[in-house]
Amino acid sequence: MKDKQHKYLWWQEGIIYQIYPRSYQDSDGDGVGDLQGIIKRLDHIQSLGITAIWISPIFSSPMADFGYDISDYCDIHPLFGTMEDFDELLEAVHDRGMKLILDLVPNHTSSEHPWFKESRSSKDNPKRDWYIWQDAKEDGSEPNNWLAMFGGSAWEWDEKTQQYYYHAFLKEQPDLNWRNPEVQKVMMDVMRFWLDKGVDGFRVDVMWHMIKDDQLRDNPINPDYKPHQATYEKLIPAYSTDQPEVHDIVHMMREVLDSYDERMMIGEIYLPIHKLMTYYGTDQNGAHLPFNFLLLSTDWDATKIASNINQYEGALPDGGWPNWVLGNHDQPRITSRVGMEQARVAAMLLLTLRGTPTIYYGDEIGMRDVPIPENEVQDPQGLNMPGLNLSRDPQRTPMQWDSSENAGFSNNKPWLRLPDDYRRVNVKAQLDDKYSTYTLYRRLIKLRQEEPALHIGDYRPVEAKAPLLAYLRYTSDQRFLVLLNLSHKPCHFAPEHFSFEGTIEIDTLPEREGGRVSGHVSLSGDEGMIIRLDQS
Ligand code: NOJ
Ligand code: MG
């Protein structure tokens, strides 16, 4: 049991909501979402019960990777608005008692960033060492076998200065050399720029990529590579990612944050549990929340999910705060992975687990991945590796607000197309519908925010017998039993060594709410319920 005197912080008690800014709300009719658009939709976010908004990059960028290629870290892309718009947004968010988290992309810049332009201008430019430059091997080939996440070699030949530079993603996204103290300093200054403005934290892009092996050794071959996978998977990135020295950098960032009040940092990290945990740092001197992507990668199976929850809970370091993610702009949406009905059960899972939940925009109305015809694909990951179905456009489509033309997103043709069913599946249609996914989300969030057992309470597994997952969330005052049927078929919960009595508080089948249960329960297919247990 957690110490009652302990003060929990907003990022522990609260709920995070991710906005992909191109797709949330367009205010100026160019078909692309913008900051004024977000301001216009803050009511929606607030009435959902969100604590903090994380916005994917809004900075100056040639948009080769839709903003994850930054050419000025301290300016706003005109597509999204101006610095005044940003200040207005920050103030409006704060006025509503919410927090704002920005996306920090420290691993790489755009090739159009003035730093890179200088760096590539000559071998003896003072900024040459700000990036990772290497001579060719004797035969002219790349310095090592490292591959880019978006296909092909991670090395790009520079004709003018006769060296290769390293890029983990696109060649338009050269990696910074974080071993260089000037790079470290300039990025800490970037953090301070936004923190001074009052930004509440950062989601740090590809945190585990930031430092590479100092000898640039070849990555080993991945014996499990399958041809349908991205070419990047051919190697195990043992030397290009997750190097021990990365923790010094994370710690350096943490110190900057700690010199302000209650600011925080989320790390984007795709690593196995035991590696992920190291990003909390020694004695909590690392990331506040290393993103936990287990629910994105685990098969939708009660035993496997339970085992992962338990492994994760068990591996957390002392004082490490858990967190859970169901979707983001890089992954297929939850509805498209487990289906519409199970996505509701998944929402109940996300919002009843111990640890800060992050909700991806649109998931609150059950938006699905939208099929984007081949000739409309925009995502470089899709364009560079055609035929592998790797485009991330389908999960980045405009928010479906209402049934009007362009779904209330824009008065012009949206940058990505809407699905055929948006007139049915939209916020407006779901607002007052007791049975809608929106209503389910809103009520789950409300209950979580109201009940200490759910936002700061302990977690205890009760049973995981496919298809049923059962666990408890509790404080000394209140216990909730969560039962989730992860299949479409009915199932029965009749635990041998656990007796209970209580009232169904929230059910994906609202007709059952208020019902009394004791000892055993039958569940319909795709049903999840939260039972408020009687206190004996
Ligand atoms: C991770 C981001 O989430 C993704 O969208 C981007 O393409 C890469 N990092 C490169 O910045
Ligand atoms: Mg716009």
Give the domains, in start order, of the chain with CATH numbers: 11-109+182-444 (3.20.20.80), 114-166 (3.90.400.10), 458-533 (2.60.40.1180)
- What is the C-alpha to C-alpha distance for residues 79 and 73, in angstroms, rounded to an integer? 15
Q: What's the pLDDT tens digit per position in 65-88?
A: 999 999 999 999 999 999 999 999
- What is the C-alpha to C-alpha distance for residues 406 and 402, in angstroms, rounded to an integer? 9
- Compute the half-sphere exposure of residue 91: CA atoms within 13 Å on the CB side of its CA: 7
- What is the C-alpha to C-alpha distance for residues 134 and 130, in angstroms, rounded to an integer? 12
- What is the C-alpha to C-alpha distance for residues 179 and 176, in angstroms, rounded to an integer? 9
- Which of 55, 68, 105, 268 is the best mutation target for the ligand 1 pocket, counting ligand atoms within 8 Å of the beta carbon and taking the most? 68
The CA dihedral of 203, 206, 210, 212, to the nearest 10 degrees, is 170
Atom of ligand 1 nearest to the CA of 56: 3
Would you please indicate which residues are annotated as catalytic (active-site) residues?
A: 205, 268
Cα of 376 vs centre of ligand 2, distance in Å, is 19
68 lines ligand 1 (CB under 6 A): yes
pLDDT at residue 1, rounded to an integer: 46
pLDDT at residue 6, rounded to an integer: 78
Q: What's the pLDDT tens digit per position in 506-524?
A: 999 999 999 999 999 999 9
Going from the C-alpha of 174 to that of each of 61, 72, 83, 109, 457, the distances in angstroms are 13, 14, 26, 6, 44
- Which of 202, 203, 205 is the best mutation target for the ligand 1 pocket, counting ligand atoms within 8 Å of the beta carbon and taking the most? 205
- Nearest-CA residue for ligand 1 atom 5 is 330
Q: Is 147 helix (H, G, I), strand (E, B) or coil?
A: strand
Lookup: tokens for 277: 């945990």
Residues of the chain with pLDDT under 70: 1-5
Atom of ligand 1 nearest to the CA of 169: 10
Lookup: tokens for 168: 């983990």
Q: What's the residue count for the chain? A: 536
Atom of ligand 1 nearest to the CA of 330: 5
pLDDT at residue 536, rounded to an integer: 73
Nearest ligand to the C-alpha atom of residue 80 = 2
pLDDT at residue 316, rounded to an integer: 98
Nearest ligand to the C-alpha atom of residue 412 = 2
Lookup: tokens for 152: 């092909």
- What is the C-alpha to C-alpha distance for residues 30 and 118, in angstroms, rounded to an integer? 33
pLDDT at residue 5, rounded to an integer: 63
